[in-house]
């Protein structure tokens, strides 16, 4: 399976491919992350989304800390082979580390980014701490 799965994928110079998680029922885009070959292979083998964290420099399964796993129903590869989209079922209804349904919770309106989605669960409740971004 590994060869057939990975051959068509055009990983970038860092060995990564863009991965989009989309809700299988609503079709809302929930998050975008990165996969290396190992993460893509684990996703296909287990049926649960695995990613590669560029900041932590390690492969991880979505929900391993939060419990908000992503069950994958379908994997698709775009025409150029440089992006993967997954139709998923999001456990707990929370895909974003901020405790929201989607990472795409800001909308450009009136000359500014406005937050349009509520926090469903506080980040400190989920992880025991707040994530920092640099």
Find out whether 7 is annotated in a ligand binding site: no
| 96 annotated among ligand-binding-site residues | yes
Q: What is the largest CA-CA distance in the chain?
A: 49
DSSP state of 25: T
The answer to whether 67 and 94 have CB atoms below 8 angstroms apart is no
Q: Could you tell me whether strands 106-109 and 112-115 are parallel, antiparallel, or unpaired per DSSP bridges?
A: antiparallel
Give the 3-state secondary structure of residue 13: coil
Q: Is 82 annotated for ligand binding? A: yes
18 is in an annotated binding site: no
Sequence-ordered list of residues with C-beta below 8 angstroms from that of 25, at least 6 positions apart, any chain = 89
Q: Is 12 annotated as a binding residue?
A: no
Binding residue ranges for Zn(2+): 79, 96, 103
Binding residue ranges: 78-80, 82, 96, 103
Binding residue ranges for Mg(2+): 78, 80, 82
């Amino acid at each position: 399976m590994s060869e057939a799965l990975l051959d068509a994928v055009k990983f970038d110079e860092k060995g990564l491919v863009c991965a989009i998680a989309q809700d299988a029922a609503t079709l809302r885009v929930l998050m975008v992350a990165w996969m290396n070959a190992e993460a893509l292979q684990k996703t296909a083998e287990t049926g649960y989304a695995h990613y590669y964290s560029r900041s932590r420099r390690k492969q991880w399964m979505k929900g391993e800390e939060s419990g908000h796993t992503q069950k994958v129903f379908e994997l698709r590869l775009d025409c150029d082979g440089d992006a993967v989209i997954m139709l998923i079922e999001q456990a707990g209804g929370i895909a974003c580390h901020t405790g929201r349904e989607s990472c795409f919770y800001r909308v450009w309106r009136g000359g500014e980014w406005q937050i349009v989605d509520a926090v469903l669960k506080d980040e400190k409740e989920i992880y025991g701490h707040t994530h920092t971004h640099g």
